[in-house]
Chains A and B, each alone.
Chain A
């Protein structure tokens, strides 16, 4: 027990020696010392989520504002691949994930809580110079039988296969290139994404990418909480509460107005309210 009084000295000596060793190696960066708080893993999906976007995109702003309104700090880690986000959600049992094409099984879904945070207007699009007469769309996927569909990685493509549609997977940028070069016949994406991607990458093709259907489909986007995470269920409730607060205060509409035209904002909020309060 006598040695105990030397313990602080030994500890100090140990620390000095270890820092001397570290001094010759890579430096410790502040980022290495920050433990992410309430980390949500999100799939890069511009213009909704992306490291290059102002405030990392519309959906990131919505989630952060909602959680801040209930006094919860959060970190969104944006990854370029849905497969990695799925890995963190199901294998690492992280708090939550966000992304449309994570391809979860029925069994997976049992351990997850889906909190809708926004809606997107989606449509099927084709390249007009390649299909001048358009498509005879009557509202069923089987109307597109025999054509090729550019699908997202991890997208559930079973309905397309059943309808006799050929599948060509890829990233959206690559799919748009294939659409323009007539390697695939149609793709699906939110209208906002179409406008953003064409503005950024294919400005000369803006008039040539045409919607197959006249009416776009409203698709909810979720933050998916993990019931197996100790804070999963609580944080899911808190996010829903926070969304209600930001919608009520007008903050939610303010965020949407940065990205959307005015008449779409109220429609989206109404539809989101319907989802949150069935």
Chain B
């Protein structure tokens, strides 16, 4: 090879690395008021969990003032494959804030009002019924009573529609929930964690004709409400849901690695899901995880095409991409001079009084409220503390979490892929403590 050829090859290689590096710029933690030394506690925490085989690996990103000060990949993404900064994760319920932003964009465009009945756009939601259990000993087990009012778009955004997840029979068993879910089962409704072989419209139209668990506005019940919003976006925008999100959110925010179905060339970047007993036994999940009404299909993430587009669960993404989405929210609707939402709309989304006296306790604790697609910390007197009143965040089934602290101008993204759900809450909270305690100004 001649010198000139070596020069050209070197230039090419340099240009590849430069292009990759340009995706994000790191800042010294001290330059944004964070302590490098204290962030080492976070390294130690994750390394310990990886060494003890509680998790296979993770990617953590912390940014302050829009600048990435900590971006660390640890452990394995898959068998024989190390975790990388650009590893792609099943973010599952972290899809919900994206769907909620899409709805709010249509709201700003005057295409819908939050007070609109869902039935205005999806007629199957007209004249809904609510299950009322009858006292024990009664001839009837239950009655279907007319809903006191229509389910509104606001109800869907705030999980006050009375629509459930089937999996909730495992979280909060009660006869009424079991009755509602039995209708869901008979009607072929699924939680969407395994991608059904039908369109979102097919499923939502059946769901609309099934009874509710509670009268709209009377309970905070985490469920399929955001899947309904995904279909509502299709009806209102006239676009397929994934096309809308791709062109209106992912492309403007340059979220290049966020997808409903993964392109073939990125398949190798998906992290495996790992089953952990949190005692040192860690196995790669190869089959669907079925536990009562909970059905998870981590391997569906490798499907490169399909019909179902879940507004509550389908998106795959990276730490950097989701940081861009979170930073847009922290910036009150804009990023890199691209405005997706107005300041007023983001303020509306993160207001704490949408669910009145209810608390969003499913992933957090009391003292957490739910806005329009996001949980918001309301006080500092309960078990889960993310550092400040006004912090907003949400999480995903395979152990992913994002947190935005408007007061400290900070975004924290923590991504891993660990099952079963629930055992990782402690680690999540420790990551938040480490991130917040690195603040040094």
Contact = CB atoms under 8 A, between A and B. Distances in A.
Interface of A: 25-27, 29, 31-32, 44, 51-52, 78-84, 87-88, 91-92, 153, 170-171, 173-174, 177, 201
A171 B183 CA distance: 12
Contacts of B187: 80-81, 171
A92 B129 CA distance: 13
Interface in B91-129: 115-117, 119-120, 123-124, 126-127
List 3 tightest A-B contacts by C-beta distance, closest first: A80-B187, A31-B126, A80-B206
Interface in B119-152: 119-120, 123-124, 126-127, 140, 143-144, 149-150, 152
Contacts of A25: 115, 149
Given A80-B187, A87-B144, A177-B197, A26 B115 contact: yes
Interface in B138-175: 140, 143-144, 149-150, 152
A26 B186 contact: no
- Interface size range of chain B in the complex: 20 to 34
Given A83-B182, A173-B188, A26 B150 contact: yes
Interface in B370-393: none
A115 to B, nearest CB: 24
B51 interface: no
Contacts of A79: 209
Nearest to B216: A26
Contacts, number: 65
Contacts of A27: 115-117
Nearest to A169: B186
Given A52-B205, A79-B209, A171-B187, A26 B152 contact: yes
Contact of B197 (A51, A88, A201): A201
B198 interface: yes
B377 to A, nearest CB: 28
A92 B211 CA distance: 15
Contact of A31 (B123, B140, B188, B209): B123
B232 interface: no
B226 interface: no
A29 B126 contact: yes
B120 A29 contact: yes
B127 A32 contact: yes
A44 B144 CA distance: 19
A154 to B, nearest CB: 8
Given A26-B152, A81-B210, A51 B124 contact: yes
Contacts of B183: 81, 83-84
